[in-house]
Every structure is written in C-alpha cells, then in structure tokens.
Structure 1
Amino acid sequence: MRIRRNDFGRLKPPELGAWEPSMTVTVVVPAHGGQEKLDLTLAALSKQTYPARLLDVIVVDDGSPVPLRADLVPNGRVVRVRESWGRAAAVQAGADAATGEIVLVLDADMVPWPEHVEAQMRWHHLASYLVVLGWIDFTDPPVLPSPSEVTAGVANLFPMSPHRHDWAEEIIASHEGLRTAPSSLVSRVHVGATASYPAWLLRACGGMDTTLKLAEDTELGYRLTQAGAVFVPDPEARAWHVGVPTAMRSFAELKRYNDPFVADRVPYRRYLRTDRGRQWLVPYVEAVVEAGSYEDTRATVDGLLASSLPDVRVTVEGPWESLTDSRRSPLSDPLLELRLLRAQFEHDPRVRLGPAPEPVAPFRLLCPPGWMPEPTTVERLVGHLEATDGGALCVALEESPEGVVCARLERTAALARASFLIKEGEHLDDVLDEVFGLEWVDGAAFGLARRPRLYPPRRRPVPEHERLARQRDKELDTLRERTAALRAEVAQLRREAAKGRRDTARWKEKAEHWRREAVRLAREQDRTVLDKAVRRMRNLTFPGR
C-alpha cells in the first residue's frame, strides 16, 4: 500500500473485535522503580483483546533500587539496562530484546484500555511503515486502585484530570486527523508514552539516541520521519496516564533543558536555530558536489557555504583515497585538481571530502560543479519544496548533447519511502512522484548560474567589516557632496532673491518718479488749457484789449 505524504485515509482499519490478527507484537515497558504503578500497567496488559499467543511483554529495569517484577502478565519477562541509563537506553534495550514484528512502547505509568494493543495493531496489518500513536487520558487519583480492580475494567476506574495534550490534539484536529499535516510538523505529536513501530523501521532509523536523557521521543520522531514513516494517531487506542507528567508540571524548566539538545538534532525546529554563524550536529541541508576542476568545484562549494541558510553542510565526492604522498611533479600531477580541492577544503568543518553520507538532514541538494548559487538560492529552493510538501525539485540548468544538466533538491523522507516501496522494473522518480510529488523548475529563476570566467576572484576579498566601513564612507561622501551642492544652490537663490529685491526697489522708485512726472505734466497741461480759456473769454468780453 502506497501512502502519499501522511494521508493514510485510504487505509480502512477493521472494527475492533471483528478481524483476525496475525502479526506478533512485543510491548516494551521502560521503568525505574515504581512497582506499584507498573503492576497496574501489567494488569491492564493481561486483559488485552489482542491474542495472547501473538503478544509478549518486556519490562526494562532501568537501574531500579529494588529489582522489578513482571509476574502479573503472561509471557512477561524483565531485562535490565546494561549500558548507559535513562528512558532512551531502557527503550533501546527492550527493542533489542524484542522478538515481535511490532514494538509497542508503553510507559510504566500508563494503564491501557483492553482494546489498546488491538487498536494499534490493526493499522500495522494494513501497511508496513506506520507509526501508530495511542490516545492518552490523564488522571491523578488520590489513591491508586489495586491490580485486581484494573483487571475488572479501566473505563470508569479513574477520575478524568483537566490536563490534556491540548497542543498535540489541536495539531491532529486541525490537520484532518494528521492526514494533511506537512512533513515538518507531522512527527511533533510523537510523545512516545504509547506508540508502536515496525521493528524493521525502528532499526532502519537507528533506534533511540541513548545519549539523551529527555526529549528522546522528539528526536526519534524526527528520524522516523526521515526514514519514511507515516504517523497514525488512533483515538480508540486509549490509555490512562496515572499522574501529571513532567511536561505539564514543569513546562518552562523542561523546555529550557530540552531546547539545546533538540536544536542540535532536529533541524525542523527553525525557531531554535536563529543564532547567526552557528553550526549544528544535524544540518538542515546536506549538499553534495562531485569533484570536478578546481575552479568549478570551488565556485560551487563557496556559493553553497555562503548561503543565507546557515546550517548547510557540503560533501565533495571524489576518489580521495587515490591521493598519496609519493614522489610526483607538483604541476603535472594527474591528480592535481583533486589535490588542490583537498588543500582548499580539508580543514573546513562544514565540508566533508568523501562519499555522500547516509542522509540525516531533511533535505539533500545535488549540484554539479561549475554552477554558483546566489546567497538565497538554497533557502528559496527549500522554501518552494516546503510550500508544496513535495518530494523533489529537479532544477534545470542547461541542455547538453547528453541531455539536460540539472541540480536536484530531495526530501530525505520522500526518498526513503520511495526506496523501500519501489518494485523491480520501476523508476525511482516515478515512485517518488507517486508518494510525495516531483517538480521541474528553472535554475535561473532561483539564481543558479555558471561561475564567472575568472574564479576565484583575483582581488583580495574585502572583509565584511571593511566593506561596510567603505560603504558607509562612500555614503557619507555622497551626502557631503549633496549637502555642498544644496548649500551652493541656496546661496545662488539668495543672491538672485537679493538682486530681485534691488530691482524691485529700483522699479518702484522709477514708477514713483514717472507717477510724479505724470502728475506734474497733467497739472501743467491743465494750467495751459486754463490760461488759453481765460484769454479767449477776455477777447470775447473785451475785444481789442
């Protein structure tokens, strides 16, 4: 059965009690002391509806002061942690000792309902790569019941606590029961108090990280995702959690402790990786470049290391084992390109010289030498693949006589699932497209271009602080020049304004002069006209005078 992304909706589990199981399951119960609560867990396991002939129980004693017992359940046995300590080490010891096809981990403070194992196991009969999560109800009874009361029935045995895994249930509910959850989110609900795994898948992903004393479930969920798992929460696989867990009692202290361990190992938690310049145990992107010419390969690797994504690690693949220190002509060495590349990157902790490692990062970028990404190229490619939750991006670079030259960004989880689902005669990309999706994009649109003709640059690269200082000085010079030009322009305007005021005053003076002259002339003209009129009247009145 091929499931696309995490959409397990095409699986149709049978009704409880209406089917015939055939797979074996080992229930692993890690415990440190607490025999009283453990007895309740074992009593509940003794009354499971799943056939006893297919079920066995391993109690893992993690260094208890008084050795633990498992005599309340048929087919029960106790193993002890021999190396390290803590829950992760205990779960791993139980998984190593398990003989079942499925390993169901159940914490020692859990009291499962009778159908708990059956509800989870019915899913495993439908597909071989499911991680099934039980449903937890919390209780904090003032007095613990007896094992006999548990075997009589657990449905109404405990009072319901107001505490719940609200955040997990909200993620599940808001993504259609987790079927539409993106790959970067789906494993976050893996809390591990009750969960079941195919034994082969648990081994394939590397099992528990026994160096962790907390947050081991978070880290395991991430690696299970990368191994191609599908996560299925089942509300019918119910169990009581007796007592309030640490995550609810001391959330701030627990988060403070877990954050640095999770940040180092789970690249999906981007909010924990905001420190500039840091490198982490597990990178976000594992880039692989095949060794070519010194200039081509260096250009590509340098571009990848300068990515705006800080947690990128680069592997340069090549026949490094062929480099020896035997006598040779340094300049005509047939392995000169390889030797120069080793000299260039051997001591850079972000660069690995050798075969590509087993993928642990969520993304792997394959890029041919001679193509330089812009600083934002890798981040944009990953962002595009995350936006579509796709399986791979084929990035077309150019056409050649041999075909299309391309880079390729792959989602590790999608590649892993396609690899174990592929059948003889099928092409891996066809399966990859079926289970996650495959898309072609244009490399130029994402800033992938041929390296410059002269690479490395002949000029000494300017240190960042010096470059910024030069840029600041240039900006200041430009500002000073602009300020001087504006001051000169203001001075010119002021001169023109002063000249305008002088011209205005002069024209006003001339206008006043012309006005006075006009008045004078008018007055003289009036007197002349008056004198002529008087003389005319006199001549008329006194002729001859």
Structure 2
Amino acid sequence: MRRIRHNDYGPLEPAALGNWRPDKRVSVVIPAYNHQEGLDRTLTALAKQSYPAELTEVVVADDGSTPPLVAAGARVVRVDGGWGRGAARQAGAAAASGDVVHWLDADMILDERHLEAHMRWHHLLDHAVVIGDTRFVNELGEEGTRTEYTTRTLESTRMLRDAGASAYLLHTGASSSVPAAMLRAAGGVDVTLNMAEDTELGYRLAQAGAVFIPDPEAKGWHVGPSTVMLRAKEVHRHNWSFLGDLIPDLRWLRGHPRRRWRVPYVHVVTEADGYERTRATVDAALAGTLADTAVTVTGPWDLLTPGRHAALDDPHLDLRLLRNLYAAEPRVAFALDAPASVAPAPFLLRVPAGWAPGADTIAQLVRQAEKDTLGLVCAALEETAAGVVAARLERTAAFARAARHAGQAGDLADDLVDEMFGALWVSGAEFGFATGDDIEPPAGDPAKWRALATRRAAEAKELEAEVARLKAEVKRLSEQPAEQPEPAAGPLAALFKHLRKTG
C-alpha cells in the first residue's frame, strides 16, 4: 500500500474510468426527510451508474417523513432514537453492508460514472476519503458551478494536495465516500448534530489518518442553492456555537482564555512516579499559555482499595495523594496504561514525571509541529546510561496512519511517521522544560494581569484625550491677536503668558 506524505495523493495512479475491474462493494447512504420528488430523481440517476449493480446497494435513511418515503430499488430504514442529519446518516451507515459508505444528499443528481470515479481510489488506498465534484445549478442540464469556498480552496492547495492537516474542511455529506471500517474506527457520525455533522466527521476521519481526495470526474449536480448559499451568516452563527468545542483545530473559535473544551488541543500523558515529581509535571502542564490541555496520569490505580489503610504509612501513599489532589480537576484523568490514541485530540504530549514544561512550552512545541505539519517533535531532556530521556509531541493523525503500515518490512512507527509527516529533535531546555529546583512554580493569576492591563490601557486613553485637549487649547490661545486682553487668572492664563514671552 502506497505511503502518502501529508495529503499529497499525487503519487497514486487511479484507473481510467471504464478500464478496470472492481471488486469492492459500496453502500450508497441517503439521509432524507420528506421531499419524495427529489429523492426519486436521485434514485433514477443512481440506477444508471456504470459501477456494477451487483456491487452496489442503496440505503435510504428516512428521518421521520410524513408519509414515509418510498424508494424503488433501495432499502429504507427509519431513524429511531433521534432525529436530524447526524442521526439519519448514522442510521443509514449502521444498516449498510458495503466495504465503502458513500454519502449522498437526497437532492443530488449524479453523472453516470460518479460511483466508479469514487471507488477506483478506494481500491488503491484503504484510508482514502473521496470528495465528489458538486456543482450547483438552477435547472437540470446546466454545467453549474462549485461554491466560492470550494473553488478557492482547491485552487490554493493543488486540489488539496498541499492542504496538509486542514484538508478535512472540504469534506461534505453531499457526495463523499469513506471505507466502512475507517468510519467505524473514527466513531461514526455524531447523532446529536443536525448541521455541520459532515465537517465534524471529516475532522475525526483526519485524526484516524485519512487522505482526502477530491475527484473532478465524480460529477454531481445540486438543483438550487444550498442553505449556506442562502443564509451563510445564520448557518455560521449556528454551527460555530458547537464546532469550537468539537474541533480544536478551529483555533479562532477558542478565544476564551480560561474555559474548558470538550476536546482538548493537546493531551498530556505522564506517569505516577512520586507525589512531588508527578505534581510538578501535571501542575505545569495545566498552567501553560495553551489552556485547552488535558492530562492523563498513568499508574497502578487499581491498588488503591477502599478498605482500611494507614494514613501516613500506606505503601501506596503517593498514589493516594495524587488522586486526592486531582480528584475534582476535570482536566486530569487516571489510567492504568497510556492510551493507544488520544483521538479526537490532535496532539499527544508524553512527558516523563519530574520534568515540567514552561509557561509557553506546549504552545511552542505545537507551533513547531504546525509549521511543517510534522508528525513528531522530540525534546531531548537529558542523557542517561539508558539513553536519551525525551518529551514527545505526537500528531494523532500521523501515528494513526503509521499504524496502518506497521509491520511492513519491519518499519518502526517513528520511522513511518518521519517518512509520511516528518520528525524533528529539539533541545528541551531551549523549549522551556525544567526539572528539580529549576521548575518555576505555577503561581500568579493571568486574569489579574489582564485586568490590570485593561485598566492601564483605559487610563492611557484618558491621558491621551487630555493631552489632545490641552494641545488644542494651546493652539487656540497662541493664535489670538496681540491686542487681545489678558485672559482671566488661572492655569491657562499663565500658559498663554508664557507662550507670548517665548514667541
């Protein structure tokens, strides 16, 4: 299987349409609510596809239509236990039996080779997410146009080959396809979302190592403008209320400096290795400038039984103290072992206990990784007889993709990550890591300093206004004719007299 660097699928050579023999089954999943006429048009186009009918199934997820939808040549499943686009997509996917799930909106008309264009990529790569070329038309038969956002993104990224970690932003439910196994591994569709569920799913697929491939030959037409085209500001207002909580990459939606987010940007993992040493690491990680950070402390927590034990002479005293300390801290979790993946968090930072990141260390490491979309940044902390002790910032997507190639020719995960994303060693000291007496205490209150800065800025504005007023008054008085009588006594009179004497 070809190893793709970042999102550059260019080395793949898809088969020419009509000149290959497929063997994978595809399930076309159509979430629908009412609008029987539009669904009928979509199903008619599907019946004419060049992809073998024996390898194709169509599943319509009826989201409570009245009357229930009728779908000739398709299997209809009713959405139970919820409603909306997310619930409908997941209901359809759960009922699908194909190797690939192909999402399709119920108001799309497909070119006869649309499915074939998608499926040729899936025969080359088991982690491809293919995006169809959706055009918007007023009437059937028109060539149509892409959305402005899609056009701009494709043109600026060489059809997503240079999109790096942000390629998922073009993922859309109108016409996209994903391996069924990969969809399950990513957690399926979020059934609670009624809008932007395709963007959120695209983000999680990216963390699972997906390569996003837009295919201009997978043509499809949407009759009439989309909701985003008609009501863009309202759609954004709605979606941005929750996408910031779910997609850490959307940094501009996380402007609040102190609140907690559902999905952390960086998940720190350290081991329980002494109360003071571990506390220094955890406290420093929580006190950094990158606020959306979570911490998992690994250790034999199963040894802490609830039975009677000595308060001060407990052999597991340090474990108990750590659990006591962070029991009510929602950003700290306890686990027996380090998690295999921290998805959907985009970064995992492994830090040895006793080593504390500085105030801006984690943010600096992330910036270093994002600069070249690196999959791994190792910070050398010290060299011992056993080797180099290091902190490791791992990109979730990079290690997920590397896992798909693990075992091939004995490749190690780090080597695979380096090949497909890039890896870098840096000095831990230069990035602010410290240990022992060199650790800065996580003291101070950032909010207090921000409040003070706000007050000082307001005072500065008041002083600037006063200076401007005085300058205007000086100019007015200096321009008065010489025969003017002396102004009344006071500060301005004295100032005027001084100006006249000095010319």
Scaled to the shorter chain, the TM-score interval is 0.7 to 0.9
Q: CA deviation at 1:466?
A: 7.4
Structure 1: how far apart are the matches of 2:86 and 2:123? 27
Is 1:374–2:358 an aligned residue pair?
yes
Structure 2: how far apart are the matches of 1:43 and 1:464? 61
CA deviations on 1:321-360 (whole Å, 9 max, x unpaired) are: 2112333332222111111111111111111122445412
Structure 2: how far apart are the matches of 1:50 and 1:307? 53
Q: What is the correspondence of 1:173-184 to structure 2 with a 5 Å cutoff?
A: 173-183=155-165
Equivalent position SS for 2:437: coil
Is the Cα–Cα contact under 8 Å of residues 248 and 265 in structure 2 kept in the other structure? yes
Q: CA deviation at 1:451?
A: 3.2
Structure 2: how far apart are the matches of 1:327 and 1:107? 61
Counterpart position of 1:203: 184
Counterpart position of 1:391: 375
Is 1:9–2:10 an aligned residue pair?
yes
Question: 1:306 aligned to 284, 287, 292, which one?
Answer: 287
Structure 1: how far apart are the matches of 2:450 and 2:102? 58
Structure 2 counterpart of 1:325, which letter?
Answer: P
Structure 2 counterpart of 1:286, which letter?
Answer: H
In structure 2, runs of 5+ residues without a counterpart are 455-503
Structure 2: how far apart are the matches of 1:231 and 1:6? 7
CA deviations on 1:256-280 (whole Å, 9 max, x unpaired) are: 0100210110001000001111111
Q: CA deviation at 1:454?
A: 8.8
Q: What is the correspondence of 1:85-484 to structure 2 with a 5 Å cutoff?
A: 85-141=83-139, 157-160=140-143, 164-183=146-165, 185-354=166-335, 355-357=337-339, 358-359=341-342, 360-423=344-407, 425-452=410-437
Structure 1: how far apart are the matches of 2:446 and 2:299? 32
1:454–1:228 Cα change, 3 Å: closer
Is the Cα–Cα contact under 8 Å of residues 361 and 412 in structure 1 kept in the other structure? yes
Q: TM-score, normalised by structure 2?
A: 0.86
Counterpart position of 1:148: none
Equivalent position SS for 2:10: helix
1:167–1:463 Cα change, 3 Å: closer
Structure 2: how far apart are the matches of 1:91 and 1:468? 45
Equivalent position SS for 2:134: strand
Counterpart position of 1:66: 67
Structure 1: how far apart are the matches of 2:184 and 2:231? 32
Equivalent position SS for 2:215: strand
Q: CA deviation at 1:470?
A: 11
Q: Cα RMSD between the aligned structures?
A: 2.0
Structure 2 counterpart of 1:266, which letter?
Answer: I
Is the Cα–Cα contact under 8 Å of residues 346 and 353 in structure 1 kept in the other structure? no
Aligned residues: 449
Q: CA deviation at 1:13?
A: 0.7
Structure 2: how far apart are the matches of 1:23 and 1:471? 62
Structure 2 counterpart of 1:363, which letter?
Answer: F
CA deviations on 1:158-182 (whole Å, 9 max, x unpaired) are: 3355x63211221122111111112
Greater shift, 332-341 or 232-241, is seen at 332-341
Is the Cα–Cα contact under 8 Å of residues 356 and 439 in structure 2 kept in the other structure? no
CA deviations on 1:429-481 (whole Å, 9 max, x unpaired) are: 12222221222111111011113279979xxx565677899999xxxxxxxxx
Structure 2: how far apart are the matches of 1:462 and 1:259? 32
Q: TM-score, normalised by structure 1?
A: 0.79
CA deviations on 1:474-522 (whole Å, 9 max, x unpaired) are: xxxxxxxxxxxxxxxxxxxxxxxxxxxxxxxxxxxxxxxxxxxxxxxxx
- Aligned identity (percent) is 50
Counterpart position of 2:43: 42
Structure 1 counterpart of 2:116, which letter?
Answer: E
Structure 2: how far apart are the matches of 1:396 and 1:329? 40
Structure 2 counterpart of 1:171, which letter?
Answer: T
Is the Cα–Cα contact under 8 Å of residues 109 and 243 in structure 1 kept in the other structure? no
1:21–1:376 Cα change, 3 Å: same
Structure 2: how far apart are the matches of 1:471 and 1:216? 40
Greater shift, 244-253 or 445-454, is seen at 445-454
Is the Cα–Cα contact under 8 Å of residues 374 and 422 in structure 2 kept in the other structure? yes
Structure 2 counterpart of 1:28, which letter?
Answer: V
Is the Cα–Cα contact under 8 Å of residues 358 and 440 in structure 2 kept in the other structure? no
